[in-house]
Chain A
Amino acid sequence: MSSADTNRSWYKRNEIAITPWLFLLPAMLFFAVYVIIPIGQSFWISLHEWDGLGDKTWVGTANYERLLGIGDQNIDRKFEVSFWNNLRWLVLYLLAIPAGLFIALFLNQTVTGIRLYKSLFFFPFVISQVVVGLVFSWFYLPNDGLFDVIIGWFGLDIRGGVLGNPNTATYGIIAAGLWPQTAYCMILYLTGLNAVDPEQVEAARLDGAKGRKMLWYVILPQLKPATFIAFVVTIIGALRSFDLISVMTNGGPFGSTRVLSFYMFEESLSEFGFRMGYGAAIAVVLFFIMLGFIVYFLWSMYQDDKGAR
């Protein structure tokens, strides 16, 4: 070690190693306080019975046993319904991606006033989910609602109305959610289409590609980043479908439109709730479902990074 080195201060000597951590520190602090620690607390609360006011009572894994029906009890039916509804949301919500792509391809042309058309198509994403829910619940009203009138022309009638019938209510809400979500995917694809390389399209044309082949082999591969983002936001959107359900059916009729996030809210924070332990157990289950997707997203981004290097 040279004397010049020893004369410099400790920070100066370790500057290169420390500075990145200093920059990371605020973010790490906030991430810990607002994300990591609350997740740990949820785990902890889910092992207790607690009304949010008095003392917590340790019950071990009893909340999970009741939720999943371990031992001599039946699986919690509300949980079962919520879980399957969540799956319906996850699968059907993905329809927003092809629908958004279709509209984006359709709008990706130069006609007079195309900007106006684009903004009109994007409009449903701008208005609040609560408004979307209200508009759709009027649309679905039995007897007077437009939807009921339209299917009436074909001699169809849904008993109790779309949102009043336990067999159709969830699909009705998902359809309402697809409206803004499609617009979101459309915008992602429109920006993606701007980045498509015109030279490749030209070359493909020279080779005689057109129509579906052009789309599948030339355009879509270039839209892969847009598709990935659309997939991520749609999955996240499907898992946080709380507001539409709350506005349109409030979980009903007879709880048939609950999803896990809504059930968690109902158990822990709603008017008749305050069973914090049980609500936390539902939150933990939902967390693990999300974790599956998060790990997949991270892994896939990591692979992309490696490929780019």
Chain B
Amino acid sequence: MTEAYWEDTMHSILKTSLAALVAFGATASTAMADAHSLSGELRITSDMSNPAPRAVMEGLVEDFGALHPELEIDLTIVDREAWKTQIRNALGANPPDVVNWYAANRMRPYVDAGLFADISDLWAEPEFEALASTKGAMTLDDKQWGVPYTYYQWGVYYRKDIFDQYGLSEPTTWEEEMANCQTLLDNGVKCYTIGTKFLWTAGGWFDYINSRTNGYDFHIALARGEIEWTDDRVRQTFANWRQLIDMGAFIEDHQNYSWQEALPFMLNGEAASYLMGNFAVAAMRDGGLTDDQLDFYQFPVINASVDYAEDAPTDTFHIASGAQNMDAAKEFLRFVTSAEVQTEINGGGALGQLPVNANASIDDDKFLEQGFEMLSSNANGGIMQFFDRDFSAEMASVGMEGLQEFMVFPDSLDDILARLEETRQRIYE
């Protein structure tokens, strides 16, 4: 607490009590009960530029501003894709106080360069115990560098009506998955749609097959560069994957399509399922599928001796190490992660994703409910952040290109693995 803080408090005792009253009335939250007067300017740069997230972000600022009337909040919203490269310049000179980013290894360059503030003290507060499930993803070098605000599950979204038509049920084992797929193929329906033009979709398949074959710990060790790509266990992953490729399970010419361009195959029934993140549900509903036609199952077991591990990418808020208003920034992170706010911003009318706070409630949506159930009780192996966030940037880009090539020319596997191994050695050794 700074002198300025005390001075401000003295000068505006009346306003402070009013603000506290408003805080009590507005949210009746215990986290907000000690809402002390924050003042000055809080500058936030957000990448929530799509229509629904943008409304959420603007709502967050408005509500937070109502709690702290002394505080002047300056919100800048940057295009989500552009932000992936702009963040570097933004954090450089005269940085904003709070910025959006992603969890896990994606934080690494900014942590190493000292641009993200260490907020381990925030995580030590009792309220943050409700966020324990995502603590690992926010931790690098045994310190926490940001807070999550939303995440979403990955899994197999499938056409229930097509499954019913051929008498199929949700598979739980690899054998059932393959048997289902064979039935579909015999009836002229592709098992999976996928668009690999932008590569990352293939990363999802690798995450799942590798973690189901070799387990979460192996997968993460591979991501950290501790295991050779030419290892027999990695080859086993590709051998499992190849079973599907050789069956012709995936739609043809997928290297031409983005993930959205691959959707029509599922919408018009040429393909039965899609391994995707939950964000695809909105697009599928827009495409005309009803909730009766669309359902979800967890990626099946391949090796019964390893636990389920799930992809659940987490989006985050961070404080810049050069923040001018550290108190307000920390208070904002507390606000965003509180149970009430989490329930509100992840609801069906807002982000439509999973809240990170265990005390928050899930929106009444069958995919969110299944996803939350899956992640909280059936992902004992661990939570993966996704191929391009768990692997280092260079390894991810070379790796995903290799995965795409494998899906088109599986015979080139030796060549691909040799290339990935060469890259791994150069990066990590």
- Point out residues on A near B: beta carbons under 8 Å: 51-54, 66, 74, 77, 141-143, 160-161, 163-164, 249-250, 252-255, 266, 269-275
Contact = CB atoms under 8 A, between A and B. Distances in A.
Contacts of B426: 66
A164 B110 contact: no
A163 B256 contact: yes
Contacts of B422: 74
Interface string B65-102: 00000000000000000001100100010000000000
10 contacts: A74-B422, A161-B256, A163-B256, A164-B255, A252-B404, A253-B405, A254-B404, A254-B405, A270-B85, A274-B88
A161 B253 contact: yes
A51 B422 CA distance: 21
A53 B408 contact: no
A253 to B, nearest CB: 4
B401 interface: yes
A250 B115 contact: no
Given A53-B88, A252-B404, 12 more contacts: A53-B110, A53-B115, A142-B252, A142-B253, A142-B256, A164-B253, A164-B408, A253-B255, A253-B408, A254-B255, A269-B85, A271-B393
Interface residues of B, number: 29
B177 interface: no
B85 A160 contact: no
Nearest to B397: A272
A274 B85 CA distance: 9
Interface string B359-394: 000000000000000000000000000001000011
Contacts of A272: 388, 393-394, 396-397
Contacts of B397: 266, 270, 272-273
Contacts of B269: none
A270 B396 CA distance: 13
A269 B87 CA distance: 12
B136 interface: no
Interface of B: 84-85, 88, 92, 109-110, 112-113, 115, 197-199, 252-253, 255-256, 388, 393-394, 396-397, 401-402, 404-405, 408, 419, 422, 426
Contacts of B408: 160, 164, 253-254
A253 B408 CA distance: 9
A77 B256 CA distance: 23
Question: For the complex, would chain B's binding face be called helix, strand, loop or mixed by DSSP majority?
Answer: helix
A252 B393 CA distance: 18
B85 A250 contact: no
B118 to A, nearest CB: 17
Contacts of B388: 272
Contacts of B198: 250
A274 B392 CA distance: 12
Contacts of B88: 52-53, 274
A124 to B, nearest CB: 23
B404 A253 contact: yes
A143 to B, nearest CB: 7
A255 B401 contact: yes
Nearest to A273: B393
Given A253-B408, A254-B401, A160 B255 contact: yes
A53 B113 contact: yes
Contact of B199 (A142, A160, A252): A252
Contact of B256 (A51, A74, A141, A273): A141
A272 B109 CA distance: 11
B328 to A, nearest CB: 25
Contacts of A74: 422
Contacts of A54: 112-113
A253 B196 CA distance: 9
Given A160-B255, A164-B255, A254-B402, A275 B109 contact: no
A244 B394 CA distance: 24
A272 B252 CA distance: 27
B253 A143 contact: yes
B419 A164 contact: no
B290 to A, nearest CB: 26
Nearest to B199: A252
Nearest to A143: B253
